[in-house]
């Protein structure tokens, strides 16, 4: 089974081991709404998507805003439920992560990320 890792190209650190794409209207619309929690190594990549909200969510999340070169043009740590995310003019996609992941992985604006497919052994 293939899984997609999110790799920080500047630090060579894996930010998430299982990136789920949300690249259709309905997947972006649903996002993480009504889920009870977010697994530690999961990320949701919303594309195209310049901004997000956390309405109907039950937990905080970290958010990375990416430009068309997968460079981080903005981020938010521990965005609470019921909030609207910031707007970054260059953002074309968004990655939602478990709260605390940005700090844990020393991820910062200006860094670049890559989506790397890995074959998972079962």
Q: What is the pLDDT of residues 39-83, one digit of tens each?
A: 999 999 999 999 999 998 999 999 999 999 999 999 999 999 999
If one compares 120 and 74, the residue with the highest pLDDT of the two is: 74
pTM attached to this predicted model: 0.93
The SS3 assignment for 84 reads: strand
Average pLDDT score, the chain: 93
Q: What is the pLDDT of residue 98?
A: 97
Q: For residue 102, what is the enclosing H or E element?
A: helix 101-104
In this prediction, residue 26 has a pLDDT band, given cuts at 50, 70 and 90, of confident
> How are beta strands 2-8 and 113-119 bridged, if at all?
antiparallel
User: Would you state the CATH architecture of domain 15-114?
Assistant: Sandwich (2.60)
Residue with tokens 């999340």: 61
Task: List the chain domain ranges.
Answer: 15-114
């Amino acid at each position: 089974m293939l899984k997609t890792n999110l790799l920080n190209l500047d630090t060579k650190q894996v930010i998430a081991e299982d990136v789920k794409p949300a690249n259709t209207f309905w997947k972006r619309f649903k996002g993480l709404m009504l889920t009870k929690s977010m697994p530690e190594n999961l990320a949701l990549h919303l594309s195209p998507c310049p901004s997000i909200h956390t309405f109907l969510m039950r937990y905080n999340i970290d958010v990375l805003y990416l430009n068309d070169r997968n460079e981080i043009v903005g981020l938010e740590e521990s965005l609470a439920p019921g909030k609207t995310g910031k707007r970054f003019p260059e953002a074309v996609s968004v990655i939602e992560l478990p709260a605390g992941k940005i700090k844990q992985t020393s991820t910062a604006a200006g860094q670049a990320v890559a989506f790397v497919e890995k074959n998972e052994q079962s």
